[in-house]
Chain A
């Protein structure tokens, strides 16, 4: 598969639990992005990596959120102490510099 893969596709968790999502980008893409999308909104930027370096984090990314891309390949996004407001679709995308993104299918998080 040459696309962007995200796992899991769906996650239901209880408020206060920690969750971790994984993204496997297109192998030749050096840039990896995380976005969050809620109903009726466009995707909102969270953070991005160039290779293994995290170059920018949005102010939307509170202290409870952390993202890593340890070897410059796959990335993880962890949310600690989940809140109901964290319920959203979490989208990963990859690209080459200055090109459009290819998105994964997303992880739909529901916090109950």
Chain B
């Protein structure tokens, strides 16, 4: 079983819609959790950390369920500029392990 699993997509979503991504991780000892955004042929950039209480940053909301080992990202009122690959990541033993990413295409 892979350490971090995500649906690769692509998710094709009309502009203005709400979209949600899920991610599961296999190691219950994982210490912290992140969502990264990666544009085509660019480096990943930290979108947000994910906290047990859930956290929000503008149109983006992240949730963590430690019991189910599940992380989610919700994007509201999606914009064309949200089109990218979203990487789920967990910290384990001093390094961050990434999922394969979920591709999102926002359609005009």
Contact = CB atoms under 8 A, between A and B. Distances in A.
Contacts of A65: none
A103 B100 contact: no
A110 interface: no
Interface residue SS majority, chain B: strand
Interface in A11-61: 33, 35, 40-45, 48, 55-56
A42 B87 contact: yes
A55 B43 contact: no
Contact of B43 (A48, A97, A100, A103): A103
B57 interface: no
Contacts of B46: 100-102
Interface of B: 4, 8, 31-32, 34, 41-46, 49, 87, 89, 91, 93-101
